[in-house]
Amino acid sequence: MAFQPVFTDRRTFDAPLGKIVCVGRNYAAHARELNNDVPTAPLLFIKPATSATSMRERIRVPRHLGEVHFETEVALLVSQRLCRARPEKVLEAIAGVGLALDLTLRDVQSRLKDKGHPWERAKGFDGACPLSDFVPFDPEHMDLDDLRFSLTIDGERRQTGHTALMLFKAAELLADMSHSFTLEPGDVILTGTPEGVGALPEGARLALTLDGYLDIAARS
């Protein structure tokens, strides 16, 4: 069965999950920790809808392909069609805010990058995008540029993020994306990961928080 976005009040979103648009290196410290250049424009890639799974289920990954790294990100659920949108108009097209793990087959990705090949095999595999439920977005009471989030694994804090540190802010990102390809209801945007990424242990207990909105327990 295809993944269906749901809200924290258990309402099911009225469109099926679409594409998952991701932003690479949107936190300068993360770009530097992987010895990558800090981008001057949003670095975009797409995960297919088939990569999504619920954080309420156990996270299963193809460990026979090498190390799987976690990247914790704020996720935005799109509710309206966006095409060549202006930044001041995109907030009305956001239905919900949640958390995601952008799981990456790091060994596979390194080999692909060395050859100048695309990353899909490392980023778009089945189960590569565990998603939380979504908090309904209210722009009058939630500032997308002032969200704090974290990941703890087996009791150890591994990542701490603050969207104020994003190189490209949420409204700017959605507008930029919509000038390259149309965003549709059901699409999800992953806004980038802070520093601290690393290998996801098998059998680990994960705790993810979006301060003031979400507290999630997951298992790998």
- In-domain check, residue 56: yes
CATH number, position 159:
3.90.850.10
- In-domain check, residue 11: no
Q: Give the list of residues 6+ apart from residue 212 with CB closer than 8 angstroms, or none.
A: none
The model's confidence at residue 1, banded by pLDDT at 50, 70 and 90, is low
Q: Cα-flanking dihedrals φ and ψ of residue 57, to 5°?
A: -100, 160
Closest CA to 18 of 3, 32, 38, 35: 3
- Boundaries of domain holding 49: 20-219
Neighbour-count burial of 37, counting CB atoms closer than 10 A to its CB (0-12 exposed, 13-18 middle, 19+ buried): exposed
- In-domain check, residue 3: no
- In-domain check, residue 2: no
| CA–CA–CA angle 70, 29, 188 (5° rounding) | 50
- In-domain check, residue 138: yes
- Residue 219 in contact with residue 204, Cβ under 8 Å? yes
As a whole-number percent, the residues of the chain with pLDDT over 90 amount to 88
Domain count for the chain: 1
Q: What is the mean pLDDT of residues 154-169?
A: 97
- In-domain check, residue 75: yes
pTM: 0.95
- In-domain check, residue 12: no
The C-alpha atoms of residue 61 and residue 160 are separated, in whole angstroms, by 23
The confidence score (pLDDT) of residue 215 equals: 98
